């Protein structure tokens, strides 16, 4: 079954509204979660790293005030797209690393959220 649950899978919203995307770690407490976005026919681009108990680390060029990341608990990380505009329309996906020596380099992804801003 799914190890990482991402919700919602699809959002259609009007320009100017804010959209919250949730990513839950189902099998253990994840102190770190990674957020990506993907434009059509392009690669997944790392946006930010969500850290439980501290501020998120954003990649260069990603607006911190636009994409608010909150790692509220050890099992939940949220990405809020504030005042969304059509150019924010994209596919957003979260990722969590495996744990322990045997799970080294195993990555778990959410199912992704397709955001369409009208």
Partner 1 sequence: GDSVTQMEGPVTLSEEAFLTINCTYTATGYPSLFWYVQYPGEGLQLLLKATKADDKGSNKGFEATYRKETTSFHLEKGSVQVSDSAVYFCALNHDNNNDMRFGAGTRLTVKP
Binding site for partner 1 (CB under 8 A): 2, 4, 6, 9, 32, 34, 36, 38, 41-44, 46, 49, 93, 95, 97, 104-112
CB of 16: closest distance to partner 1 in angstroms?
28
Q: Which is nearer to partner 1, 38 or 70 (CB)?
A: 38
Q: Which is nearer to partner 1, 85 or 106 (CB)?
A: 106
CB of 75: closest distance to partner 1 in angstroms?
16
Q: Which of 100, 59, 97 is nearest to 77 (CA)?
A: 97
CB of 83: closest distance to partner 1 in angstroms?
27
Distance CA(29)–CA(96), nearest Å, equals 10
CB of 85: closest distance to partner 1 in angstroms?
24
Q: Which is nearer to partner 1, 32 or 80 (CB)?
A: 32
The CA-based angle 53-58-59, given to 5 degrees, is 150
Distance CA(111)–CA(23), nearest Å, equals 9
Strands 19-25 and 4-7: antiparallel
| 12 within 8 A of 116, measured Cβ to Cβ | yes
Q: Which is nearer to partner 1, 13 or 46 (CB)?
A: 46
């Amino acid at each position: 079954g799914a190890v990482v649950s991402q919700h919602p899978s699809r959002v259609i919203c009007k320009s100017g509204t804010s959209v919250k995307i949730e990513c839950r770690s189902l099998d253990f407490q994840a102190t770190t979660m990674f957020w990506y976005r993907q434009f059509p026919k392009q690669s997944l681009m790392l946006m930010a790293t969500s850290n439980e108990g501290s501020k998120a680390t954003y990649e260069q060029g990603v607006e911190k005030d636009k994409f608010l990341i909150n790692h509220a608990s050890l099992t939940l990380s949220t990405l809020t797209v504030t005042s969304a505009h059509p150019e924010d329309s994209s596919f957003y996906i979260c990722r969590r690393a495996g744990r322990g020596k045997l799970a080294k380099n195993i990555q778990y992804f959410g199912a992704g959220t397709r955001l369409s801003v009208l």
